[in-house]
Amino acid sequence: MSEIYQRTLERSLADAEGFWLDAAQAIDWVDPPTRAHGETAGWFANARLNTCYNCVDRHVLAGRGDALALIYDSPVTGTITRFSYAELLGEVGRVAAMLVRLGVGKADRVIIYMPMVPETLFAMLACARLGAIHSVVFGGFAAPELAKRIDDAEPAVVLTASCGIEGAKVIAYKPLVDAALALAKHCPDHVVVLQRAELAAELTGPCDHEWAALRAATADDPVPACVPVAATDPLYILYTSGTTGTPKGVVRDTGGHAVALAWSMAHIYGIGPGDVFWAASDVGWVVGHSYIVYAPLLVGATTLLFEGKPVGTPDAGTFWRTITRHAVKVFFTAPTAIRAVRKEDPDAAFLHAIGIGGLKAVFLAGERADPDTIGWLETHSGLPVIDHWWQTELGWPAIATCFALGDSRRKRGSAGFAVPGFAFAVLGEDGREVATGMSGSVVIKAPLAPGAFASLWRNEAGFARNFVTYPGYYETGDAGFINDEGFIHIMGRTDDIINVAGHRLSTGQMEQIVARQDGVAECAVIGADDPIKGMVPMAFVVLRAGYAEADLLPARAIAAVRDELGAVGALKTVHVVAQLPKTRSGKILRKLLRQIASGAEWDSPPTIEDAEVPRVIAAQLQKI
């Protein structure tokens, strides 16, 4: 155990006030905080700051204007562009001037429906500069879902692009925006369209503007000053899918967010000024908000904005090629991306041919990292591969191996230990802590650390429900256990604990066993309805490229589960499929698989990456 980590964790819980006031010194404040947390006021409630100033201006004023701030690498367009901090300040200032010309000011909302291009990052920072609240919606989301977000956020302006590029596909954005506006009750004052070379958009609406023309028209406008906001004022709204079908808008406060992210870069990832950090995510997701845009820039590092896929743009070597090309120090991606690379290149031939340059560690999040995937990457890279866990609601990691605090303890299948500032427990249905090693509901003691959500947009009742089931604790919705060494294991959502003839079983545990079988690229185990046992586990498996024993794999996987869990494991059905249904952030849509397997009515959610995948699986099951 790292003594530094242990001391840091203990102080963060015993003296949260002093701990977070010390952490707040990494941020430049207009009015510095004199208190960290109040029972009802939130984090740093008496302080004021501006996030854009902390991400951009202060580095230029400190003489680091020539330092590299942003690398844009787009294998889908063959483009690589670099921006120094001074150049980033200039670009953000121009977009801020555009927004001011359109009447955007403090507390106004701006929806950003854009691809992975530099202008998206400029727009987010420009909103922060003005004290406006941005809400980034993943480019290409279906029009009805975009309409729901427009009606909930009521933006003054929508920023979009003519198209996005998803692998080999070019997706037109403007028709989707037009369709959403036709469905929405709220009408924004302006829609600004960034024209891309791959596909031009027609500007037909009365409130449409072309990005380049508006930028030219405001070229002589002064760069707007950074607007001070209260630490508890919203920086952004990020929508997640709600259980009722209505998206819930997670509100990120300004001060706690800046303090938490700056602390995480220094103490989890070991990133500081001049280091290159790459989070291979999308700015439409929380990982992109926190670790593409804000966290690297808060600490003066270089952030990498990547427009491409782990495979196919052009091949399974694109990760390693990008890492070596740009001297990436720490790499952050989703387990599903590594599984995709492994599926195409099981012997890691690209990795061995290209190398990893000066890479120090790989962090995984977004989907549970199975031990086999971690082992494969550690074996071939020779690096620590660190799974860690968090949620949109939390905004930054809550479970991790704190690499930069000298903690090297890792256990495959576990996300690590509580990050300083978070106190975890595993509770049973009676609300009491379960015994060590026993599964239950993973909860976090309230109040949550800085950076976590303090409200849902215009939905305080919905926010409060997160703390009702277990009073005094935030209910994460995940099931898991803590072993006798203190490792926290997240085994899946609480509804992935299935009841088979009276036995409570973890599909995540079965999934871990199936994933270890030779030939398995990735898999999902779900609980399907059964008239006799209530539910039975069912596995869906994707094979590695070139694997020739597909007919033998189901029986071998079933036998492995029985050997490890006994007859109670009850896995009797394994389907070999070409692909698993996933969101664009890489999460496997297990609920959708459950619906298909149980013969229930289902619809592809708006977050799905490929709507054809569930239809193919449903047709395959109907033939059996």
Using 50, 70 and 90 to split pLDDT, how confident is the model at 242? low
Q: Which domains does the chain have, with CATH numbers?
A: 3-308+388-480 (3.40.50.12780), 501-622 (3.30.300.30)
Q: Grade residue 315 by pLDDT with cuts at 50, 70 and 90.
A: very high
CA dist., res. 343 & res. 340, Å (int): 5
Helix (H) or strand (E) holding 129: helix 118-130
List, for residues 547-592, the tens digit of each pLDDT value.
888 889 999 999 998 887 765 567 889 999 999 999 877 788 988 9
Pairing mode, strands 440-445 and 473-482: antiparallel
The model's pTM = 0.87
Pairwise CA distance, residues 559 & 564, whole Å: 9
Average pLDDT over residues 329-358: 95
- Say whether pLDDT at 497 is over 80: no
Quickly count: other Cβ atoms within 10 Å of residue 18's Cβ.
12
The mean per-residue pLDDT over the stretch 366-378 comes to 89
150-204 tens-digit pLDDT: 999 999 999 999 999 988 889 999 999 999 999 999 999 999 999 999 999 999 8
Please name which of 252, 267, 291, 249 lies closest in space to residue 42, comparing C-alpha atoms.
252
Count of CB atoms situated within 10 Å of the CB of 140: 21
pLDDT grade for 1, boundaries at 50, 70 and 90: low
Q: What is the mean pLDDT of the chain?
A: 92
103-133 pLDDT, tens digit each = 999 999 999 999 999 999 999 999 999 999 9
For 45-183, where are the E strands, in sequence order? Answer: 48-49, 68-74, 79-84, 109-113, 133-136, 157-161, 163-166, 169-172
The DSSP code sequence of 521-545 is EEEEEEEEEETTTEEEEEEEEEEPT
Please work out, in degrees rounded to the nearest 5, the angle formed at the alpha carbon of residue 364 by the alpha carbons of 360 and 365.
Answer: 145
Q: Where are the beta strands (DSSP E) in 20-154?
A: 37-38, 42-43, 48-49, 68-74, 79-84, 109-113, 133-136
> What's the whole-number mean pLDDT along residues 206-223?
96
- Asked if residues 190 and 109 have their Cβ atoms less than 8 Å apart, the reply is no
Q: d(Cα 59, Cα 66) in Å, to the nearest integer?
A: 10
Tell me the CA distances in angstroms from 371 to 430, 453, 510, 517, one per residue in order.
31, 30, 12, 11
Other C-beta atoms closer than 10 Å to the C-beta of 380 total 17
Task: Report CA torsion sign: 7, 13, 19, 20.
Answer: positive
- pLDDT average, residue stretch 463-480: 94
Distance in angstroms (rounded) separating the CA atoms of residues 456 and 142: 22
Residues in CB range of 43: below 8 A, 6 or more apart: 20, 36, 37, 231, 232, 253, 255, 256, 259, 450, 454
What is the DSSP secondary-structure string of 453-491? Answer: --EETT-HHHHHGGGTSSTTEEEEEEEEEE-TT--EEEE
Average pLDDT value for residue range 321-345: 95
Q: Rounded distance, CA 475 to CA 467, Å?
A: 6
List all residues 6 or more positions away from 101 whose beta carbon is below 8 Å from its beta carbon: 214, 217, 218, 221
pLDDT of 500 above 80: no
Taking CA atoms, 599 is separated from 524, 594, 602, 617, 618, in Å, by 18, 9, 9, 12, 9
Closest of 507, 567, 512 to residue 538, by C-alpha:
507
Give the position of tokens 């799905």. 608
Contact assessment for residue 317 and residue 345, using Cβ atoms and an 8 Å cutoff: yes
- Start-to-end Cα distance in the chain: 51
Q: pLDDT tens, 392-430? A: 999 999 999 999 999 999 999 999 999 999 999 999 989
Higher pLDDT, 386 or 531: 386
Whose tokens are 């100033």? That residue is: 53
Contact 407, 419 (CB under 8 A): no
Q: Is the pLDDT of residue 244 over 60?
A: no
Between CA 420 and CA 427 the distance in angstroms is 21
- Rounded CA-CA distance 167/164 in Å is 10
What is the model's pLDDT at position 367?
A: 78
Alpha-carbon span 509 to 527, nearest angstrom: 13
561/510 Cα distance (integer angstroms): 6
